[in-house]
Structure 1
Amino acid sequence: MSAPSRILLPHVPVLVAGIRGAVALEPDGEFRRLSRSEAARYARNESPLVCHGPAVAARLGLDDFLRLDILELFAFVRPARFCLPTPRGLADAMGLPHPADLEDEAEALMNAVRRLLEELSSRTNADTAAKAVDTRGLAWMMARGGWGWGNAVLAALGVQGDSGRGGGALRVWDRLPEWSEYAPEPPPGNIPVDPTETRQRLAQMLGEGAEQRPTQADYASAVSRAFLPREAEGQPHLVLAEAGTGTGKTLGYIAPAGLWAEKNGAPVWISTHTRNLQRQLDGELDRLFPNAGDKARKVVIRKGRENYACLLNYEEMVSRNRNQDAPAVGLMARWLLATRDGDMVGGDFPGWLTEVLGRARTLGIADRRGECIFSACPHYRKCFIERAVRRARRADIVVANHALVMIQAALGGLDDGAQPTRLVFDEGHHVFDAADAAFSAHLTGLEAAEVRRWILGPEGEAVSRSRARGLHRRAEDLVGGSEEAIAALDGALAAARALPGPGWMVRISEGEPQGPAEAFLGLLRRQVYARAAHPDSPYSLETETTAPLEGLPEAAGALAAALGRIALPLQVLSKSLSALLDDEAAELESATRSRIEGICRSIERRVLMPLAGWKGMLDGVVQGGGVVERQYIDWFSVDRIDGRDYDAGMHRHWIDPTRPFAKAVVEPAHGVVITSATLKDGSGDVETDWRAAERRTGALHLDSDPLRAEVASPFDYPTRTKVLIVTDVRKDDMDQVGAAYRELFLAANGGALGLFTAISRLKAVHKRISAPLEDAGLPLLAQHLDNMDTSTLVDIFRAEEHSCLLGTDAVRDGVDVPGRSLHLIVFDRVPWPRPDILHKARRAEFGGRAYDDMITRLRLKQAFGRLVRRADDRGVFVLLDPMMPSRLFGAFPPGVEPVKVGLAEAVRQCRQLLAATADA
């Protein structure tokens, strides 16, 4: 019997940090204003209550400090629920008044603590007895482990002494439901989707009285062609559809996709590039499936295995649970019991929890090394990823991402060998880059060391603290009495030691490599340093593979031979295990059968395929460093962070990665839609622009011509937007650039996005403008500086109307911020492509300067597209580069003419915009 609950607020000060200084709310209710240096000392001495400790530490210039983080309490009370990790975000989540200043924020944090504890008390009292016991047991365990919130939480739960002790509280796998197996799904039908019924379905989804958008219906009608039966093998119906912002393209393709899935009993896979669009799609699918139960059955979000929580990894973390880890283990238990699908990246796992608790204690439980033991796992029947795979087979709509679709296609199918026949690629302008990543090969120290680790498991000091499982542990009970398989397994384990071992980077830097892989990497690194234009640069270095250093071809040959000695026994092992499927077909249980198939598939994908690619690359070095085939480009690199080497290796990319994309992904399908608001170039010539879209999507490599569809945006861009090119700011003078950002952001009164072509330029501007913006009451967020992931920063930016955000490419492509939270974009300079070895090869292949112009126009087009997301939005796009050539003006919508002005005039027009927006 638990004691009556009581609310026990922690007797510690609250600390809220700004740019110039901070405010502390003492336990006696007094406020103290502190300078930045005083606040840093205060944080170290007082262990205060804060919101998002890593961000506060970064703001105070500290590496770390002891604190009581309210986000941990929020994650315990409201697991699998998100809030903005700021005092204002917490106030909004808890229904408290919106804070106006730092004092208000400090007070809001303490009030939020009280409400969370009250909510925990009342909710636990209303829970079932078993659930309440779990909650109290976890809280007791976390408190015993030194959790700062332990006493307050136990008091709210009415736990006294050892009354909450429960040895099974962490065994969350005991309380998760099992997935069910079903008969194999029949092959998809071939019933067509008619454009007329597509329009009818769209109208039905929109509902009566909805705003009429003829262009949306036209778009849906055009897209429906991808859902006709295929007429010849290898000739899918491909639709390239550019739909201007505001068209409503998401519902436009969901309408025919849903119809086709219903008619043909098979899923349509919708692929996106950003987490933001996956969330948006999840919301839009409510229109197709208004009943929550139907949607849960018919819509599945699918990602790679590395994105999902692994229950075996979690169990091993529990078994190693030490006092200092107890709070994190308990919070992960709370989330695992509450999560919808176990998705840790973009699902219902708050991104800020990784920052607060650390990657090892959070994302560390995902299977990021491909070490799944499949049906040998005691939690196989409850596995999140296995549940998702099975649900996807029976779904109508599967929402995936470009990387998963391409990699699985390259590997010959999805987890069960099946490939969807209908695909929609939204954010189609990312197809080229996604294919580039999926179909490239990298023989680097980190990649090779990871293969060694996959085979051997942890080594040295890592053995005691790692949860990794080597191949011996994954396969030992399957090889049974087969002497051939046992010998092959032993041979693979011995041969894998030719790959880089722990400490390899130090050894090759000091000229003391061990084994053929490290010898090759050491010579490769020496060639990079010898030939790089600026070897003392703090950034990564690269050089061509041609004319290799003396001894490098021989080292490449020795490594190629060593790779062969790894591959051969693994091929024998895989063949021996596969033979069991035939020899013991009558006796093998289905789970064991599935496990054998999984291990053989893993050996092929995790080791044999990379080794084959690496051997081909090494052959080129043996032959003198030239590329074996003109369709590839090879180079050597040393990767660095702040001037410190962390990796070295050889890279091979397709010069045109849409070739393998077309062959592996598009050709096998029956119908494919590739769509985006920025699919075409803006050169001014219609046919040239469409040819650029076909080249960037792989359509040129198909035997049949795609359907081209274009629907203009309904937005009145000439009236509601301006593009200004500032002519009197020197882009190489960071004082001038910083001053320009400051004045423009102040003139817009926030709601401003600053985009940069280099992280160093972003940091330089942040240093110059953060204090004056804070003085003006405009919060400044910055990628690479705020110790928060990009998605969280964008969420904060979207919610806080007067905030400003600085970012690079990921922000340029991933922001969807309608309304007054974004009405100014400032780009530091023309975003020309980086002139590296890979770009040089593509430039030569795709048209020289015209290729540079196309890439740059597309980047500007994508950035401008962030500015207006609704019909009533207004915005100004400012480029701080007087060298912007007029041939790039096609990046902007028809009727929007860039105007060259001085900074003072640009500031005046931004103020004018603010007045118009305020009156709207």
Structure 2
Amino acid sequence: MREPPPTLVAAVTAAVWLTPDGEVESLTPAQAAQRASRQAPLVCHRRATATRLGIDPFPAFDVLELFAFVRPARFSAPTPRGLAQALDLGDPHSLEAQALALGRVADRLLAELAAREGSNGSAVSIAWTMAQAGWPWGATVLQALDFGKAEVAPRRAGGYRVWEQLGEWSEHAPEAPAGSQPVEPDEARRRLAELLGEDAEARPQQADYASAVAAAFVPRDREDDPRMVLAEAGTGVGKTLGYIAPASLWAEKNGAAVWLSTYTRNLQQQIDSELDRLYPHRAEKARQVVVRKGRENYLCLLNYEEAVRGLSARPAGAVPLGLLARWALATRDGDMVGGDLPGWLADLTGRGRTFGLADRRGECIYAACPHYRKCYIERSVRRARRARLVVANHALVMVQAALGGGEDGVLPQRYVFDEGHQLFEAADGAFAAHLSGQETAELRRWLLGAEATRRGGSSRQRGLQRRVEDLVAGHDTLETLLQSALRGARALAAEGWHQRVVDAGGAEGPTERFLALVRQQVYARAPSRGEGYSLETEVRPPLDGLVEAAKALETALGKLEEPLARLRDGLGARLDEDADKLDGDSRRRIEATMRSLDRRAVRPLRAWRQMLRVLDSEASPPEFVDWLAVERIDGRDIDVGFFRHWIDPTEPFAQAVLAPAQGAVVTSATLTDKSGDSEQDWLAAAQRSGSVHLPSPAIRAQVPSPYDYAAQTRIFVVTDVRKDDLDQVAAAVRELFLASGGGALGLFTAISRLRAVHARIGRPLEQAGLELYAQHLDGLDVATLVEIFRAEPDTCLLGTDAVRDGVDVPGRALRLIVFDRVPWPRPDLRHKARRAVFGGKRYDDMITRLKLRQAYGRLVRRADDHGVFVLLDPMVPSRFVSAFPEGVRFTRVGLAEAVAETRAFLQTAP
């Protein structure tokens, strides 16, 4: 950096400006905003800084961009403290110390770049192209790379051509069928001991757990009747290694993969890390372990290439594409969502611009793609075929099973479902049908690609014709079917559908006319729930004209489904008729296209038509709940549609996933209910996991936590704070956060309440030296917020359910949880239908207890953790005491006493 820029660090209500001469000035956010608009400062996370200053993003030397260039595919918490810790530069706490640290961070990164890459041609080319596009760091990075005054400039965007530098994957002979050798309980115990090592602390609960889940790795005796184990293991048991032990042993003995499935990407990463114990050598682990996600999570090289080729028309894209080029050459597997692409990088480069490079619309052309042999996705699929342990997620498992198999049509035979308490929710999303504006418009785009818009714009979207035209060329019947399908697609909602639906007279085509009437019925009948909430109403009795519109739409969708289904079948016939002409890649491409047609078009269309056909009947089919809704965010309509969910979504899950398998483990720390009735509690586990739909009952295993919760935690119910008075709620959160000295998580049942509390407590917390972050307010995704919270033990975080489910923060970084009110289930139509089937009030209590148990369970993640759990709701029923471990003090107190007790307990904790 020839002339060092000033440095800016902004908090919620204050900012620090460090001049190049070393003078530190304290500013208000407004003053800092004015300075930043006049001179580009050195900052950490330009967008988040701008959000805190209340202005649009401004030109700046963002140290995170430099970090992403120098250390691609590596993570740091996106804060000055996080960067300083990542580079071993201490842990600066005050704003002044953080401002000083940012300069040292930049210097260290530039020195590292110069020492490691020197005049690396690819790095120079990328940096030069980014500099030409105005990247503030461009000249400084080029200087570090010893670019000097080269007579010949690098080829523009030459380093961006990452597809030229990637190796090809190779095919292997098909794997032999899995064997049937069982895993005995003693074998599982021995394998666990090997994983832990000789010096490991004795954990008898973990060995008992491994022994119990081994029962799922025994051959089944009857078709569609898997060996099923429901295993509840309290926090601290070590269930991850506990199930890895028998799973890895079965995989080795039988030459096939066990799929380890989770609900959150965070746990996928944790399982992957634990597998380092089993495969300490990186190369061996790469052969034996694969992390698998849906195709939409990976960088599509064709999309990336097209973006690079468009740089001349869109030069502003050079900086984000350059940072992605650096990552693409360093990434382990091309996973953009929860992999080694830091979540904050997408915030810097633009989430649409980044994740839009993945195959999010199912537009892959498979073997016709010039990058097919280097594709990250295809490489991952092939590695998974030969791996012994595949770390997946519930959504991918369910989608693949619903389609009759994965990329190669083969279903796994053994599963472990960690976070098993989330199976019900995952199945609810996987097996639902949504006939909405967004869904139909997305299908239209998938079929027709980039249509000429009303503004004359276009995009890189590839329609069905472009994807399959060479597969149908010369086959008159297939060509005719393709054209019929493309004509039929014009009945779907088109770009700009929402505005036309709002203006009912402007709706175009049968889909939009139907949606206009749906919206009219929702607004006419939905009870108001306040600004910002989504609206819903029952389907029956239908509004005048809605049945007729439904019939017209059903007919139109039939004219689309029929040629698509015949096109799918006709392509399948080619596999037989042209068997002597098709090479391996062409066959695989046809098979993949058939699966795409089935998943993306035929199945949804069939479900939509079934929904429309019964709209004029007296009731929906008994296994489903139907409703009409307008989806809203911050008071703004974003979608409208006709929705159908299974009342019990574990029924199709059991049919598609569990029944075909040989064995499955469903495990969690909160698998059973805690009502006090043991049989009812296990019945709840069987119902929520789907095992109740299998011929044989599941084997039950329950291993208690080794932690002393009575000594390590306290629970307070505050009795003198009115939960409907946000001033009182905010004051309570503020005082409790101050009492804990940070490491505090505030959980809210509504975003509006979170926003109101955040506005009231930011300044006093900041004045006390506590940093406050908030979901939806800081311009950061949930995973990034949690990483900051984990890395900086004195920060405070406000969030909703998404934060609660994604938090795994051991140690002092999480020592206080404050719940704003009892987390009752939202009383929507879907819950109403399930409540009637699953036990009424008992069902409400079960869901609420689960949420409380999950939140409380975040406090103690290891043996030396201590924490306080506070409910700001005097109406907490006494029956919910059973949600918490036996012996823990559940005390009803006033706010002042809760604050004093929290401070005293945490100050005296070891």
Under TM normalisation by the shorter chain, which class is it?
A: over 0.9
Question: Cα offset for 1:100?
Answer: 2.6
State yes or no: 1:21 paired with 2:11: no
State yes or no: 1:260 paired with 2:250: yes
Q: 2:508 & 2:4 partners in 1: Cα distance?
A: 56
Aligned pair partner of 1:532 in 512, 516, 526: 526
Q: 1:170 & 1:873 partners in 2: Cα distance?
A: 47
- Which region of structure 1 is more displaced relative to structure 2, 889-898 or 843-852? 889-898
Q: 1:173 & 1:768 partners in 2: Cα distance?
A: 50
Question: Cα offset for 1:10?
Answer: 5.0
Which residue pairs with 1:431 in the alignment? 423
Question: Cα offset for 1:277?
Answer: 1.1
Which residue pairs with 1:879 in the alignment? 871
State yes or no: 1:486 paired with 2:479: yes
Q: What TM-score comes out, normalization by structure 2 length?
A: 0.98
Which residue pairs with 2:604 in the alignment? 610
| Partner AA of 1:499 in structure 2 | L
- Which region of structure 1 is more displaced relative to structure 2, 587-596 or 27-36? 27-36
Question: Cα offset for 1:765?
Answer: 0.8
- Which region of structure 1 is more displaced relative to structure 2, 90-99 or 662-671? 90-99
State yes or no: 1:145 paired with 2:133: yes
Question: Cα offset for 1:672?
Answer: 0.3
Which residue pairs with 1:5 in the alignment? none
Aligned pair partner of 1:446 in 433, 438, 442: 438
Cα deviation digits, residues 741-794 of structure 1 (max 9, x gap):
011110111111111111111111111111101111111111111111111111
Q: How does 1:213-232 map to 2 (within 5 A)?
A: 213-232=203-222
Which residue pairs with 1:297 in the alignment? 287
Indicate if the aligned counterparts of 1:305 and 1:385 stay in contact, CA closer than 8 A: yes
Indicate if the aligned counterparts of 1:822 and 1:867 stay in contact, CA closer than 8 A: yes
Q: 2:499 & 2:3 partners in 1: Cα distance?
A: 46
Which residue pairs with 1:782 in the alignment? 774
Cα deviation digits, residues 854-910 of structure 1 (max 9, x gap):
110111011110011111111111101110001111110011241100001101111
Which residue pairs with 1:501 in the alignment? 494
Structure 1, unaligned stretches of length 5 or more? 1-7
State yes or no: 1:894 paired with 2:886: yes
State yes or no: 1:284 paired with 2:274: yes
Which residue pairs with 1:563 in the alignment? 557
| Partner AA of 1:229 in structure 2 | P
State yes or no: 1:761 paired with 2:753: yes
Which residue pairs with 2:741 in the alignment? 749
Which residue pairs with 2:233 in the alignment? 243
| Partner AA of 1:75 in structure 2 | A
Aligned pair partner of 2:548 in 546, 554, 558: 554
Question: Cα offset for 1:137?
Answer: 1.0
| Partner AA of 1:342 in structure 2 | G
Which residue pairs with 1:803 in the alignment? 795
Which residue pairs with 2:808 in the alignment? 816
Aligned pair partner of 1:584 in 555, 569, 578: 578
State yes or no: 1:316 paired with 2:310: no
State yes or no: 1:460 paired with 2:468: no
Indicate if the aligned counterparts of 2:299 and 2:359 stay in contact, CA closer than 8 A: yes
| Partner AA of 2:130 in structure 1 | M
Q: 1:11 & 1:904 partners in 2: Cα distance?
A: 50
Question: Cα offset for 1:508?
Answer: 0.8
Which residue pairs with 2:76 in the alignment? 83
- Look up the SS of the partner of 1:287 in the other structure: coil
What percent identity do the matched residue pairs reach? Answer: 61
Q: 1:252 & 1:536 partners in 2: Cα distance?
A: 47
Q: Summarize the Cα distance change of 1:440–1:463 in structure 2 as closer, same or farther, 3 Å threshold.
A: farther
Which residue pairs with 2:49 in the alignment? 56
Which residue pairs with 2:154 in the alignment? 165
State yes or no: 1:739 paired with 2:731: yes
| Partner AA of 1:835 in structure 2 | P
Q: What TM-score comes out, normalization by structure 1 length?
A: 0.97
Q: 1:313 & 1:622 partners in 2: Cα distance?
A: 44
Q: 1:578 & 1:295 partners in 2: Cα distance?
A: 37
Question: Cα offset for 1:463?
Answer: 7.5
- Which region of structure 1 is more displaced relative to structure 2, 108-117 or 541-550? 108-117
- Look up the SS of the partner of 1:516 in the other structure: helix
Q: 1:438 & 1:29 partners in 2: Cα distance?
A: 56
| Partner AA of 1:235 in structure 2 | D
Aligned pair partner of 1:649 in 636, 641, 661: 641
Indicate if the aligned counterparts of 2:867 and 2:906 stay in contact, CA closer than 8 A: no
Indicate if the aligned counterparts of 1:312 and 1:379 stay in contact, CA closer than 8 A: yes
Indicate if the aligned counterparts of 1:10 and 1:152 stay in contact, CA closer than 8 A: no
Question: Cα offset for 1:68?
Answer: 2.3
Cα deviation digits, residues 407-447 of structure 1 (max 9, x gap):
11112111110111000000100011001111111000000
Q: 1:165 & 1:291 partners in 2: Cα distance?
A: 38
| Partner AA of 2:809 in structure 1 | V
Cα deviation digits, residues 151-192 of structure 1 (max 9, x gap):
111111122256441253221111101001001111100001
Which residue pairs with 1:119 in the alignment? 112
Which residue pairs with 1:4 in the alignment? none
Question: Cα offset for 1:302?
Answer: 0.3
Cα deviation digits, residues 123-142 of structure 1 (max 9, x gap):
112x8xxxx11111111111
Which residue pairs with 1:419 in the alignment? 411
Q: 1:169 & 1:144 partners in 2: Cα distance?
A: 14
Question: Cα offset for 1:914?
Answer: 2.2
* Cα RMSD, aligned residues only: 1.3
Q: 1:753 & 1:894 partners in 2: Cα distance?
A: 24
Q: How does 1:684-703 map to 2 (within 5 A)?
A: 684-703=676-695
Question: Cα offset for 1:28?
Answer: 2.7
Cα deviation digits, residues 623-659 of structure 1 (max 9, x gap):
36x31x1110000000111211111001000001111
Q: How does 1:92-107 map to 2 (within 5 A)?
A: 92-107=85-100
Q: 1:532 & 1:473 partners in 2: Cα distance?
A: 43
Q: 2:90 & 2:701 partners in 1: Cα distance?
A: 48
Aligned residues: 904
Indicate if the aligned counterparts of 1:9 and 1:114 stay in contact, CA closer than 8 A: no
- Look up the SS of the partner of 1:542 in the other structure: strand
Q: Summarize the Cα distance change of 1:9–1:733 in structure 2 as closer, same or farther, 3 Å threshold.
A: farther
Cα deviation digits, residues 315-346 of structure 1 (max 9, x gap):
00011113211111111111111101000011
Q: Summarize the Cα distance change of 1:209–1:11 in structure 2 as closer, same or farther, 3 Å threshold.
A: closer
Q: 2:531 & 2:134 partners in 1: Cα distance?
A: 45
| Partner AA of 2:599 in structure 1 | R
State yes or no: 1:73 paired with 2:66: yes
- Which region of structure 1 is more displaced relative to structure 2, 175-184 or 281-290? 281-290
Q: 2:626 & 2:61 partners in 1: Cα distance?
A: 50
- Look up the SS of the partner of 1:269 in the other structure: strand
Indicate if the aligned counterparts of 2:296 and 2:359 stay in contact, CA closer than 8 A: yes
Q: 2:571 & 2:206 partners in 1: Cα distance?
A: 53
Q: 2:81 & 2:866 partners in 1: Cα distance?
A: 26
Indicate if the aligned counterparts of 1:270 and 1:425 stay in contact, CA closer than 8 A: yes
Q: 1:271 & 1:236 partners in 2: Cα distance?
A: 17
Indicate if the aligned counterparts of 2:452 and 2:458 stay in contact, CA closer than 8 A: no
Which residue pairs with 1:184 in the alignment? 174
Which residue pairs with 1:306 in the alignment? 296
Question: Cα offset for 1:464?
Answer: 5.0
- Which region of structure 1 is more displaced relative to structure 2, 102-111 or 305-314? 102-111
- Look up the SS of the partner of 2:160 in the other structure: coil
Q: 2:572 & 2:395 partners in 1: Cα distance?
A: 29
| Partner AA of 1:153 in structure 2 | V
Indicate if the aligned counterparts of 1:198 and 1:259 stay in contact, CA closer than 8 A: yes
| Partner AA of 2:564 in structure 1 | L
Where does structure 1 differ by over 4 angstroms across 4 or more consecutive aligned residues? 462-465
| Partner AA of 1:411 in structure 2 | L
Q: 2:3 & 2:730 partners in 1: Cα distance?
A: 42
Which residue pairs with 1:333 in the alignment? 325
Question: Cα offset for 1:46?
Answer: 2.0
- Which region of structure 1 is more displaced relative to structure 2, 24-33 or 444-453? 24-33
